[in-house]
Amino acid sequence: MDAPVLHDPARDLWIVPIRHHSPACAAQLECLLAAVAPTAILIEGPLDFEPLIKQICDPRTRAPVAVVALRDMEKGGGARRVVSYFPFCNHSPELIALQTAAARGIPAHFIDLPSTDPAMISGNEDAGDRSLLGDEKPFSVGDYVTALARELGCRDGNEVWDQLFEARIAEADWARFFADVGQYCACIRGAVSAATMEHDGTLAREAQMRALVARHRAAIEGPIVVLVGGFHAPALIAPAHGAVVEPKAGAGRCYLVRYGMRQLDALAGYGAGLALPGFYERLWQARGTGGGSLALELITGFAAHLRGTNMAAPSLPVILNAVEQAERLASLRGRPFPTRDDVIDAVRSSFIKDEIPLGEVPLLAQLRIWLCGSTIGDVPPSAGSPPLVEAVRERARSLGFTIADGERRTRELDIYRKPRHREASRFCHALALIGSGFAQRTAGPDFRNDAGLDRLHEIWSVCWSPQVETRLIELSEVADTLMEALATVLVEKLAGLAELGRGCSALAAIDLYAAACRAGLGETADAALDAVERHVLDDPGLASLIAALTDLVLLRRSRDILDIAGTATLDRIMAATWRRILTLLPELAWIGEDQLRPAIAAMADLRGLIELARSSAAPLDLGLFDEALARLGEAELDPMLAGAVTAFALTGGLIAPAALDQRLRSELASGYVDPADRLAFLGGVIAIARELLWTTPVIITALNDVVAGASEADFVALLPHLRLALMPLDPRETDRLANEIADLIGADPHRLAVMVDIPEADLAANLALERELQAILAMDGLA
């Protein structure tokens, strides 16, 4: 396949094919620009980013930085926010071109479709954060690259690229270099079908680039350099058809933000750029020496890095061997200096004195992390970060969080004793709740579940990344401070509960509200209050409401440690939830049989809640509960529910033990068809207050009387259900109960735990019966 033309003399256009983030392309571009001395530079990049060129070229800008574009897309009836990035690193040819243009005082323009154009996101609309640099997959997959790798003895497309191009970073003949890049990319393009290019928007983008090149050509005298991804270069020679697509006003917004090496890494899944960008950064820095000292710098640098970790650092002879190994591998593979894979191979051979299992070993994983780098760039103040971003950054700095790099760190917060740590904890909670991905709590007291309260410290895993800033930029449209952002997110999340199928769940709403309180939302949460109350008032589930109110009581109890300033809001929601519980309580009278057990469980939780409220002096009007209970007690209740209500009434002092005695006896002696029903009442009592078994002697007496008076057959029928009813008791309680009964009937308590031998004949008969049973089960397919 012929190489595309680098220079079109008729139009005096230099169409320079590059690969994004390639240091060799950047270095050769510097030479080309010096030789050609263009009067303008046109760059493949979204047209609507032009206003940001000044900021990108600002001397205070330190790469890596990225233009982040936000736009709302209509999809499936709803709007969806799309976030995409256009990153620059020190060795991006695009950045070199922009900086050269600024230094020479010549115009630089972007010539791609606006970032809001559908063609810029077609192909993978459903992807999350994405790159606007275009898809670089063709450089690593496809028959052409695979065959070339086999021919050159390379393991993958990346090594092919390094061998063919990065190794030529110091080559003198830039024209030949770009001709070769052009040819290589043209071959890759040859393997992609026109239909694919139509579908993924490539053809639409190229039409735009042609149209804008024509427009600028007409307006500017002298040679023009057009900088495009090598993939598009062949298409730019053709004459322009069609009009320029202009950016739509107000269709989207774009900002220049700090970006990180980790996000630049192609392996991290952002699709564009070279894998392990830290290596290319160092190659770029070593371009002056022709890459000669690169292996030495990298290997000694990595060894020094290992000394700072808890991994074994290599000795000097090992380091020397590795450097020598890298140089010789490069020479064997026909490269002027060791490239990425030579260095990784050399470390693999020399540093690891053991068998390497399939998968990855820690040392090589560490090497990859180190070769990726963790630098985060900086943007000038004029980049106009929204106030929210500035405020959060300022707050993070003042609380002692490192935001200058993308390293993941662990922060231990002494939340009980140090107010500043408490503030840091709230800050982390806030950033976690808004979904910034900055902080993740890995340990600490759990005030919500009343667990781990003896832990003095909270441990957070924190990592400042460009995604944090992007999320803040997204929120900056609606909020200027973190608390405003938090309130907005809370309202959004409450509204979103319906979509998750939890539209009327008090528990879900209060979960969110409690999270916001932990994040220090306080009185600003008023906006969300109505929504929370609505959820409470709509919730038909007693269990969910009781769990939610328990959460609130626990939250209120921890208000000091959580620095919840006023409790007025909290009290208001608590009161609303309590009212709702009391409204629903009498309705238990009409529940179906299948709902009975969950209702009893909820009532047991309710008792726990009432005790918790009493012990923590929560402002709940507990007197109202007695009224509600009395209303429930008036109805005709299922025996189990009646048992539960009676137990509540007895513990609350509303009835005398005699009333319980009377009801229990009548239930036990009743003529229900199913003996289980005779014990349902007792089951209800035990579920709510099993301590009544030994604090209220009438129960045992009643039970004893019934058992003593029962015939053998009656007793055998009753026995399994009696056991079931007493199941909730733990072994200690069972012992206690047994002793009480022994007392009552005058038996020797020491004779209670007796092993009763089964006669041989009974055992044999039982075993035979079991075998028979199993045979029947097997026959029915139930074994």
Partner 1 sequence: MSEQTKAIRRPAEHRYAAELARLEADDAASPRPAGWRLSPRAVRKFLLGDAKLNITRKFYGDDPLADRAIVSLMSQQGLMLVGEPGTAKSLLSELLAAAVCGTSALVVQGSAGTTEDHIRYGWNYALLLAEGPSERALVPSPVLNAMRSGRIVRFEEITRCPPEVQDALISILSEKALALPELGPDAVAMAAPGFNVIATANLRDRGVHEISSALKRRFNFETVHPISDPDFERELVLKQLAERLEPAGVLVRGERDVADLLVRTFQDLRTGRTAEGVNLNRPDAVMSTAEAVNVLHAAALEAAYLDDGRLSGVHVARQIQGVVLKDSPEDGKRLRAYIDHIVKERAGRSGVWKEFYSAARSLKLG
Nearer to partner 1, 155 or 176 (CB): 155
Please name the residues in contact with 406: beta carbons below 8 A apart, sequence gap of 6 or more. 260, 261, 262, 263, 374, 375, 376, 463, 464, 465, 466
According to CB under 8 A, which residues from 322 to 341 bind partner 1?
324-325, 328-329, 331-333, 341
Nearer to partner 1, 353 or 751 (CB): 353
Nearer to partner 1, 330 or 703 (CB): 330
The one-letter code for the residue type at 62 is R
What is the closest distance, in whole angstroms, from the C-beta atom of residue 97 to partner 1 in the complex?
35
For 181-208, give the DSSP string: HHHHHHHHHHTS-HHHHHHTTHHHHHHH
Nearer to partner 1, 326 or 632 (CB): 326
Query: 10 Å Cβ neighbour count for 197?
Result: 18
Nearer to partner 1, 320 or 459 (CB): 320
- CA–CA separation, 686 and 117 (whole Å): 67
Look-up of token digits 């320029």: 244
- CA–CA separation, 52 and 59 (whole Å): 14
User: Does the footprint of partner 1 cover residue 417 (CB under 8 A)?
Assistant: no
Size of the site for partner 1 (CB under 8 A): 26
According to CB under 8 A, which residues from 384 to 403 bind partner 1?
none
Look-up of token digits 């939830």: 577
Nearer to partner 1, 232 or 335 (CB): 335
Nearer to partner 1, 318 or 591 (CB): 318
- CA–CA separation, 390 and 408 (whole Å): 21
What is the closest distance, in whole angstroms, from the C-beta atom of residue 346 to partner 1 in the complex?
8
Single out the residue of 196, 289, 293, 349 in contact with partner 1 (rule: CB under 8 A).
Answer: 349
Q: How many residues does the chain have?
A: 783
Nearer to partner 1, 164 or 529 (CB): 164
- CA–CA separation, 664 and 685 (whole Å): 10
3-state secondary structure of 150: helix
What is the closest distance, in whole angstroms, from the C-beta atom of residue 150 to partner 1 in the complex?
9
User: Does the footprint of partner 1 cover residue 362 (CB under 8 A)?
Assistant: no
Tell me the two tokens of residue 259: 């970006």
Single out the residue of 354, 454, 499, 593 in contact with partner 1 (rule: CB under 8 A).
Answer: 354
According to CB under 8 A, which residues from 475 to 504 bind partner 1?
none
How distant, in Å, are the alpha carbons of 154, 177, 385 from that of 151?
8, 20, 50
User: Does the footprint of partner 1 cover residue 355 (CB under 8 A)?
Assistant: yes
What is the closest distance, in whole angstroms, from the C-beta atom of residue 314 to partner 1 in the complex?
10
Name beta bridge partners: 71.
Answer: 82, 252
Look-up of token digits 């109505």: 530
Part of the chain binding partner 1 (CB under 8 A), chosen from 226-234, 316-324, 440-448, 614-622: 316-324
According to CB under 8 A, which residues from 190 to 229 bind partner 1?
none
User: Does the footprint of partner 1 cover residue 572 (CB under 8 A)?
Assistant: no
What is the closest distance, in whole angstroms, from the C-beta atom of residue 159 to partner 1 in the complex?
9
The answer to whether 371 and 340 have CB atoms below 8 angstroms apart is yes
Nearer to partner 1, 300 or 461 (CB): 300
What is the closest distance, in whole angstroms, from the C-beta atom of residue 295 to partner 1 in the complex?
13
Single out the residue of 22, 115, 350, 696 in contact with partner 1 (rule: CB under 8 A).
Answer: 350
Please name the residues in contact with 304: beta carbons below 8 A apart, sequence gap of 6 or more. none
β-strands 130-131, 40-46 pairing: unpaired
Nearer to partner 1, 342 or 551 (CB): 342
For residues 82 to 111, the per-residue mask of contacts with partner 1, x marking binding by CB under 8 A and - elsewhere, is: ------------------------------
Part of the chain binding partner 1 (CB under 8 A), chosen from 321-329, 420-428, 515-523, 606-614: 321-329
Look-up of token digits 């409470």: 536
Nearer to partner 1, 333 or 421 (CB): 333
The answer to whether 406 and 277 have CB atoms below 8 angstroms apart is no
What is the closest distance, in whole angstroms, from the C-beta atom of residue 338 to partner 1 in the complex?
11
User: Does the footprint of partner 1 cover residue 558 (CB under 8 A)?
Assistant: no
User: Does the footprint of partner 1 cover residue 155 (CB under 8 A)?
Assistant: yes
Single out the residue of 164, 220, 244, 352 in contact with partner 1 (rule: CB under 8 A).
Answer: 352
The answer to whether 611 and 652 have CB atoms below 8 angstroms apart is no
User: Does the footprint of partner 1 cover residue 153 (CB under 8 A)?
Assistant: yes
According to CB under 8 A, which residues from 621 to 640 bind partner 1?
none
What is the closest distance, in whole angstroms, from the C-beta atom of residue 783 to partner 1 in the complex?
19
User: Does the footprint of partner 1 cover residue 451 (CB under 8 A)?
Assistant: no
Task: Give the helix, strand, coil percentages of the chain, each rounded to 5.
Answer: 55, 10, 35
Closest by CA to 42, choosing from 309, 224, 290, is 224
What is the closest distance, in whole angstroms, from the C-beta atom of residue 300 to partner 1 in the complex?
17
Nearer to partner 1, 32 or 346 (CB): 346
What is the closest distance, in whole angstroms, from the C-beta atom of residue 358 to partner 1 in the complex?
6
User: Does the footprint of partner 1 cover residue 143 (CB under 8 A)?
Assistant: no
Single out the residue of 10, 249, 358, 713 in contact with partner 1 (rule: CB under 8 A).
Answer: 358
- CA–CA separation, 88 and 144 (whole Å): 28
What is the closest distance, in whole angstroms, from the C-beta atom of residue 371 to partner 1 in the complex?
16
Peptide bond into 357 cis (omega under 30): no
How distant, in Å, are the alpha carbons of 87, 430, 431, 437, 490 from that of 475?
21, 13, 12, 14, 12
Closest by CA to 17, choosing from 172, 137, 182, is 182
- CA–CA separation, 64 and 261 (whole Å): 7
- CA–CA separation, 308 and 320 (whole Å): 20
Q: Where are the beta strands (DSSP E) in 414-546?
A: 439-443, 458-462
Name beta bridge partners: 70.
Answer: 83, 253
Interacting residues toward partner 1 by CB under 8 A: 153, 155, 315, 317-318, 321, 324-325, 328-329, 331-333, 341, 345-346, 348-350, 352-358
